[in-house]
A and B are shown apart, each in its own frame.
Chain A
Amino acid sequence: MREFTLSRRGVLGGAALLAAPAILRQARAAEQCVVGTWGGDYARLLRENIDDPILKPGGINVVQDVGDEAPRVSKLYAQKKLPRGTMDIACMNATTGYRVTEAGLVETLDEKQVPNLKHVQTNLRMPAVVPHIYSAQVLVYNPDTVKQPPQTMSDLLDPKWKGKVGVVSPAGQWILQAASLLESGTTTDFDKAKAFVLKLNANGLRLYPETDNLAPAFKSGEIEVGMIWLARSFMWRNGGFPVAGTFPREGSMLYVSGMVVPKNAPDKEAAYKYMNALLEPSAQRGFAAHMGYLPTVDNAPLSGAVGEQLGFPDPKPKLVTPDYPVLAKVQPELDEWWLKNIQHG
């Protein structure tokens, strides 16, 4: 009878075979990307335009950690001493992105890690924040009742619109920047901005707690003019609300929503691939078509009805990026001033 013997090579081979499922599982787990994001339409569009069509076929499983920005940012700070955090990507507005960059919490990114960064529009580039989408602050009005739309923010002081001007209260700092642009040509002359906003408040300015409160206020006739992001007026108009937008003559502030990679991200390689995917033209166009936010890259031109609705008029309006270093510093003071003097004024 032939004796059964085990060679050393056989033992190692068998062990490797037995361990294969575990090794494969480990490899799969390594290709997981946790994205800290807002919920709702934004999370859904991330799944439909980035996670499923681009990341999944590449073997990266995306897990969304849904929540508001403030708790997400708090989490970044709370985890800063940990060698391994819980998020690979964190979504936030560009001002907050600037702040966490200054605090040394996030990775600086370049085109070697994220090749599509070369397509990002020059005015939107930041060292550590990948700009995902952006929108311009516009004057909005009810086209059914307003025959001569406002041309500049100062038109909102017109007595004929007393008590008919509406803005969203949490966007106070953006109203102040727009007022600064109007009064001084820069975005950071907040003394002049405050004086203007006080006059606007005295003209019966209506404040709403949430962005989406503005659309029904237009429909009910409570307000006739206001200021909001072009993306919102696009969504409301497509939702049947009587809202149209126009670029203020003095220029439009740009709101940029971006993403960062925490320094202690569990899988930075997956995070870089995610960043690259979000800048793909197909993903960028998907957000424009459904949310009305503009592509941040130069290789995703919009066409058809979306292009017509979101395209800039000719001549192109003045688009102004916030002064992030100043804004990041003075934002708490601006928020408190708005609370005490405009909300409570």
Chain B
Amino acid sequence: MMLTLVAPLALLLRDSLNRFDPTELMLEAVTPENYLRFFADVFYWNVLVTTIRVSVIVTAICLLFGLPMAWRLARTASHWKSALVVLMVLPLFVGSTTRTAGWMILFAHGGMLDMLTGLNLMYAEPAVIAGIIAINLPYTVLTLQSVFEGIDPRLEEAAASMGAAPSRAFWRVVFPLALPGISIAAVLCFILCMNAFATPVLLGGPRFQMMAPLLFWAFNSDNNWPFAAAIAFILMATTLLLTGIANHMIPRRYRA
């Protein structure tokens, strides 16, 4: 595990310190110039900020919709529970690119949304956010559902027996107990979004930039491995840092 994870990362780190040459592609060097190129340019900063902004919005919306859905799914005694879980998982059977193609038909000029409302969302940030939510929401709901399943329903009954309304019982009893699991669901959703590729490319279009497509651009347009490797490390470090900060903001007793 360590070998398969750490060795490629070490190789990537080494590549990120090399120098790019249009003919030779990669010249052996130990230089920070690829990292400096990124951080010295406001354009690349903006791409990073856009990626973080989209990820935060997507995570917040996924939690907003995912919490009640997961709660309902966990507590339902209906015979349809299994069917509901399958329905939740079903979108994951379709690849994200295929799903995004569906969104493209919906959002495109002359597409369904355009015809019904006159709204042309294609190649804009809201389309990207909607597309990523569609991919991430099932992951969030499934994670949260297993968290709520693990909380004994008798705790809510005890709160109710002492006069707590259902909403009060949820926020005062269930929510604090679920917080470690909620933070894991949020981290999962955030990381998936930070690394989103197909959706920003297909729904965001060339004028909308996020980090993963930028990384691919550096590699694919000029075979610039050193710069692409540096972008990969910056993306990974940013994700880890923000995840760490978010985890730190949760009171110690509720942390996962």
* A339–B217 touching, CB < 8 Å: yes
A208, B219: Cβ atoms closer than 8 Å = no
Q: A70 at interface (Cβ–Cβ under 8 A)? A: yes
Most buried by B among A70, A207, A217, A221: A70
Residue A12 at the chain B interface, CB threshold 8 Å: no
Cβ of B28 within 8 Å of any chain A Cβ, yes or no, is: no
User: In the complex where A70-B223, A222-B110 touch, is A207 in contact with B23 (Cβ < 8 A)?
Assistant: no
Q: Given A74-B223, A207-B206, are A220 and B110 also a contact pair (CB < 8 Å)?
A: yes
User: Considering only CB atoms, which chain B residue lies closest to A103 in the complex?
Assistant: B23
| Known contacts A103-B24, A343-B209, A209 near B109 by CB under 8 Å | no
Tell me how far the C-beta of A328 lies from the nearest C-beta in chain B, rounded to whole angstroms: 6
Contact with A along B186-224 (1 / 0, CB 8 A): 000000000000000110011101000000010111111
Q: Identify which of B110, B202, B206, B220 contacts A68 (C-beta below 8 A).
A: B220
Chain B residues within 8 Å of A68, by CB? 220
Identify 25 residue pairs between A and B in the complex whose beta-carbon atoms are under 8 Å apart, listed by A's number.
Answer: A70-B223, A73-B223, A74-B25, A74-B223, A77-B223, A99-B22, A99-B23, A103-B23, A103-B24, A103-B25, A209-B201, A209-B202, A209-B205, A217-B109, A220-B108, A222-B109, A328-B23, A329-B22, A331-B22, A332-B22, A332-B222, A339-B43, A339-B217, A343-B209, A344-B46
Q: Does A340 contact B (CB under 8 A)?
A: yes
Which chain B residues lie closer than 8 Å to A217 at the CB level?
A: 109
B26 within 8 A of A: yes
- B223 to A209, Cβ gap below 8 A? no
Residues of A within 8 A of B223 (CB): 70, 73-74, 77
Q: How far is the CA of A337 from the CA of B67 in the complex (A)?
A: 44
What residues of A have a CB within 8 angstroms of the CB of B225 in the complex?
A: 74
Query: Is A65 an interface residue, CB under 8 A from the partner?
Result: no
A102 is an interface residue with CB less than 8 A from chain B: yes
Contact A208 B222 (CB under 8 A): no
Q: How far is the CA of A103 from the CA of B23 in the complex (A)?
A: 6
| Cβ of A85 under 8 Å from chain B | no
Task: A21 to B46: give the CA distance in the assembly, Å.
Answer: 64
Digit string of A200-242 for contact with B (CB within 8 Å is 1, else 0)? 0000000111000000110011100000000000000000000
Point out the residues of chain B lying under 8 angstroms from A328, CB to CB. 22-23
Within 8 A of B (CB), among A292-345: 328-329, 331-332, 335, 339-340, 343-344
Expressed in whole angstroms, the minimum distance between the Cβ of A325 and any Cβ of chain B is: 10
C-beta contact mask, A102-119 vs B, less than 8 Å → 1, else 0? 110000000000000000
Assess A344 versus B221: contact at CB under 8 Å? Given A207-B205, A220-B109, A222-B109: no
User: Measured between alpha carbons, how far is A160 from B73 in the docked complex, in Å?
Assistant: 55
Tell me the minimal C-beta distance from A262 to chain B in angstroms: 15
Cβ-closest chain A residue relative to B217: A339
A222 to B108, CA, bound (A): 9
Residue of B nearest to A98 (CB): B23
Is A143 part of the binding interface, using a Cβ–Cβ cutoff of 8 Å? no
Bound Cα distance A332, B223 (Å): 9
| Min C-beta distance of B116 to chain A, whole Å | 15
The 8 A CB mask of B13-32 against A (1 = contact, 0 = none) is 00000001011111000000
Instruction: Report yes or no: B207 in contact with A331, Cβ–Cβ below 8 A.
Output: no
A142 at the interface (CB under 8 A from B): no
Residues of A within 8 A of B205 (CB): 207-209
Question: Which residues of the other chain, A, contact B23 by a CB distance below 8 angstroms?
Answer: 99, 102-103, 328
Closest 4 CB pairs of A and B: A169-B206, A220-B110, A207-B206, A222-B109
A sample of 18 more A-B contacts (CB under 8 A), given A70-B223, A328-B23, A331-B22, is: A70-B219, A77-B25, A99-B22, A102-B23, A170-B221, A207-B205, A207-B207, A208-B206, A209-B205, A209-B206, A220-B110, A221-B109, A222-B110, A331-B222, A332-B22, A335-B221, A343-B206, A344-B46
Count of chain B residues with a beta carbon within 8 Å of a chain A beta carbon: 25
Q: Which residues of A contact B20 (CB under 8 A)?
A: 332
Task: Give me the interface of A with B, judged by CB distance under 8 Å.
Answer: 68, 70, 73-74, 77, 99, 102-103, 169-170, 207-209, 216-217, 220-222, 328-329, 331-332, 335, 339-340, 343-344
Chain A residues, CB < 8 A from B221: 70, 170, 332, 335
List the A side residues contacting B22 at CB < 8 Å: 99, 328-329, 331-332
Shortest beta-carbon distance from A320 to chain B in Å: 22
CA distance A215 to B48 in the complex (A): 32
Interface centre among B26, B46, B206, B225 (most CB of A within 10 A): B206
Which B residues lie within 8 Å of A208 (CB)? 205-206
Find residues 209-256 in chain B having any chain A CB closer than 8 Å to their own CB: 209, 217, 219-225
Known: A74-B225, A102-B23, A208-B206. A216 touches B201 (CB 8 A): no
What's the nearest-Cβ distance from chain A to residue B86, in Å?
Answer: 34
A344 & B207 in contact (Cβ 8 Å cutoff):
yes
Query: A235 to B202, alpha carbons, bound, how many Å?
Result: 22
Q: Which residues of B contact A207 (CB under 8 A)?
A: 205-207
Nearest chain B CB to A165's CB is how many angstroms away?
Answer: 14
A344 with B220: CB separation less than 8 A: no
| 0/1 string, B176-191, CB within 8 A of A gives 1 | 0000000000000000
**Which residues of chain B have C-beta atoms less than 8 A from A102's C-beta?**
23
CB-nearest residue of chain B to A332:
B222
Cα–Cα distance between A52 and B249 once the two chains are bound (Å): 64
Interface string of B149-190 (1 = CB under 8 A from A): 000000000000000000000000000000000000000000
Q: How far is the CA of A327 from the CA of B46 in the complex (A)?
A: 29
A170 CA to B221 CA, complexed, in Å = 8
